[in-house]
Amino acid sequence: MSTASYWCEQALVDGAAVDGVAVAIADGRFSDIGVGIPAPAGATVLHGLTLPGFANAHSHAFHRALRSHTQAGDGSFWTWRDVMYTVASRLEPDTYHRLARAVFAEMAMAGITTVGEFHYLHHQPDGRPYVDANEFGAALLEAAADAGIRITLLDTLYLHGGLGPDGYATIDGVQRRFTDGSADVWAARVDELRPGPHALIGAAIHSVRAVDPVSMETVRNWATASGAPVHAHVSEQRVENEQCIAHHGRTPTGLLASAGVLDTRFTAVHGTHLGSGDITRLAAADAGVCFCPTTERDLGDGIGPSTELVGAGVALTLGTDSHAVVDMFEEARAVELHDRLRAERRGRHATSALLAMMTVDGHESLGWDDAGTIAVGRRADLVTVTLDSVRTAGAAAGAELPAVVFAATAADVTHVVVDGVPVVEDGRHLRIDAPNELRATIAQIMER
């Protein structure tokens, strides 16, 4: 049995930040928690505020290569997509592995202990499968293991090149790398994935633009049989809604509902332009919505209806998506601050609710319902945030938690433990030189 012990100067236990928390870990889970006690002999001391591990519920690892390459000039999601397609056309499994392990290390350094990787880059440039049809997926699973974090690989079905007035467009160009040709072939390929103990396999429907309703049902059936989560891009842009209504006579959420996809394992990613009927459908199905505020504002998508969703009982989660930044504090407070701008009122979401989006709710949406809280029997993830940086210093006694959520950044994360294993110490990843690996790999990809 592997064991470890830590003493937290302050930690989040039972929803409150309390002083002097001793935690014992056995085989990757919390075995004992003591509150208000001095540091036990031999315990590793963690100065600052220690939180549960963060869940990044929506990631496209290869989009990290776009940072700084798409910020200048004007345009929209659709012009940004052209640059993204260029990167997708250049990747091979070995370069993707090197990029992803550095991206996942960057996430670990930001306190992310689990990532939901929305994975749709599957095949060779001409669309033919590799000898191992899951070579890209295997590279991502290995990259997460290298970085020391858990992963839910949301293997994505992508069949059509778009949705227009005349129906679905044929696959063309780089999209050939995304498609398996049919939902049945997709399901057979996904069945061959072999995750390790740090990984789960889930399913994703890329969007209503790329997957027809009959094929959605195949994803639903596979996920039901597997007990797996299902995610989908939903209503990210207004034109997506317009195209879906024009062709199918209903919104994207309505189309997914008619295909039987909406249930407690379903997460709609973005949901920026959901209507009231869509929110009602999601709430009735006990489904969730994943906001990615830094990407949504980077692309000019809009501001999603967060208070309406929460008011209807829909759980919100958070993702860094295109990795314009990798910072879960920024994603969390953006939900509140964006809604303040929209409503012209403050106090839209409580600090505790924002923290739940980052932690327990995000983990549950990815199938890890035993993570996201510091409690006996749960997965032993710890994220320590300094209270002495220029951003966090001076927090009033008893107000450390809101000070961290509303002012800290990823740079304030000092220590990260995942399943009882130290991954980050003193702000440094213990296995991967993330800055240098990112620099070298992105240069190789972008300079081709």
Q: Which residues are catalytic?
A: 270, 321
**Residue 446: how many other CB atoms lie within 10 Å:** 15
Q: Which residues contact 174 (CB under 8 A, 6 or more apart)?
A: 85, 86, 88, 89, 125
Cα 55–Cα 95–Cα 440 angle in degrees, nearest 5:
90
Q: Which residue stretches of 208-304 are H helix?
A: 213-226, 238-248, 252-258, 276-284, 293-298
What would the two tokens of residue 146 be? Answer: 């290298």
**Residue 260: how many other CB atoms lie within 10 Å:** 14
Q: Which residues contact 75 (CB under 8 A, 6 or more apart)?
A: none
The string over 10-48, giving b where at least 16 C-beta atoms fall within 10 Å of a residue's C-beta and e elsewhere, is bbbbeeebeeebbbbbeebbbbebeeeeebeeebbebeb
In Å, the largest CA–CA distance within the chain is 71
Does residue 405 contact residue 74 with C-beta atoms inside 8 Å? no
Per the listing, tokens 């009882």 go with: 420
Cα separation of 185 and 241, whole Å? 28
What would the two tokens of residue 235 be? Answer: 């209503």
**What DSSP string describes 98-109?**
HHHHHHHHHHHH
C-alpha distances (whole Å) from 290 to each of 3, 177, 280, 304, 414 are 35, 26, 16, 10, 26
Cα separation of 200 and 218, whole Å? 19
Cross-strand pairs, 29: 26, 379
Nearest to 151 by CA among 110, 198, 204, 108: 198
Cα separation of 421 and 342, whole Å? 42
